[in-house]
């Protein structure tokens, strides 16, 4: 596998754990792709001014032979297949798959931004990512994920959910190479 990818997944609508599991299994089914690690599940306070239910968030480590463009296209297709509907910015989501890091690639186009533009400002991204990839380096800030997590000023609540983590891992253990629970 040529490329290492880190993803952030979130859901706050409907069968949240099932949506997260479907996303992980779907990613594992991409041609030339392996899901290596999945973080614990965290219950997180929504960001923005849209009243909504708490999110469940996690991070995923993936290796793939796909290009960044191919992977991104498949990822967006998978969101729709799982049932994502369009909503307002920072609104509720059945599933949200964010491409956080793709090797040390930097892309800044209208269609794709890598690394993810807001990841360094989001504790709900940094905490689960630091769990599975503390030493991964952000290609713009040249700091480890652990350093960025320790430096974040985001104070939105991010709490480990043992119940949701157990539920998720019972649904996905056959889809990842290094199950942690």
Is position 65 annotated as part of the catalytic site?
no
Over the stretch 28-75, which tens digit does the pLDDT of each residue have?
999 999 999 999 999 998 887 777 899 999 999 999 999 999 999 999
Is position 93 annotated as part of the catalytic site?
yes
Q: Which one of the listed residues 15, 25, 36, 98 is annotated catalytic? A: 98
Cβ neighbours for 70, distance < 8 A, ≥ 6 positions apart: none
Q: Which one of the listed residues 29, 36, 84, 89 is annotated catalytic? A: 84
Is position 103 annotated as part of the catalytic site?
no
Q: Which one of the listed residues 63, 89, 96, 103 is annotated catalytic? A: 96
Q: Which tokens sit at 26?
A: 């779907």
Looking at the DSSP assignment, which residues form a beta bridge with residue 60?
7, 38
Map tokens 């997590």 to a residue: 149
* The pLDDT of residue 166: 96
Q: Which one of the listed residues 15, 89, 93, 110 is annotated catalytic? A: 93
* The pLDDT of residue 177: 64
* The pLDDT of residue 178: 56
Cβ neighbours for 77, distance < 8 A, ≥ 6 positions apart: none
pTM: 0.94
> Among candidates 152, 105, 108, which has minimal Cα distance to 128?
152
* The pLDDT of residue 173: 82
3-175 belongs to CATH 1.10.1740.10: no
Residues of the chain below pLDDT 70: 90, 177-181
Query: With contact defined as beta carbons under 8 Å apart, do 161 and 42 qualify?
Result: yes
Looking at the DSSP assignment, which residues form a beta bridge with residue 61?
6, 37
Query: How much of the chain exceeds pLDDT 90, in percent?
Result: 81
Is position 16 annotated as part of the catalytic site?
no
Tell me what the pLDDT averaged over the chain comes to.
93
């Amino acid at each position: 596998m040529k490329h290492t990818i880190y993803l952030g997944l979130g859901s706050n609508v409907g069968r949240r754990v099932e949506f997260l599991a479907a996303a992980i299994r779907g990613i594992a089914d991409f041609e030339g792709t392996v899901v290596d690690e999945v973080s614990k599940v965290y219950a997180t306070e929504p960001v923005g001014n849209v009243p909504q239910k708490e999110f469940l968030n996690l991070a995923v480590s993936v290796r793939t032979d796909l290009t960044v463009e191919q992977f991104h296209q498949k990822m967006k297709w998978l969101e729709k297949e799982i049932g994502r509907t369009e909503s307002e910015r920072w609104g509720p989501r059945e599933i949200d798959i964010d491409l956080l890091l793709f090797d040390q690639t930097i892309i800044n186009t209208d269609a794709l931004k890598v690394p993810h533009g807001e990841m360094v400002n989001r504790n709900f991204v940094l905490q689960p990512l630091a769990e599975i990839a503390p030493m991964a380096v952000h290609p713009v800030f040249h700091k480890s994920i652990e350093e960025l997590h320790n430096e974040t000023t985001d104070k939105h609540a991010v709490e480990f959910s043992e119940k949701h983590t157990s539920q998720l891992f019972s649904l996905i253990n056959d889809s990842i190479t290094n199950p942690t629970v």
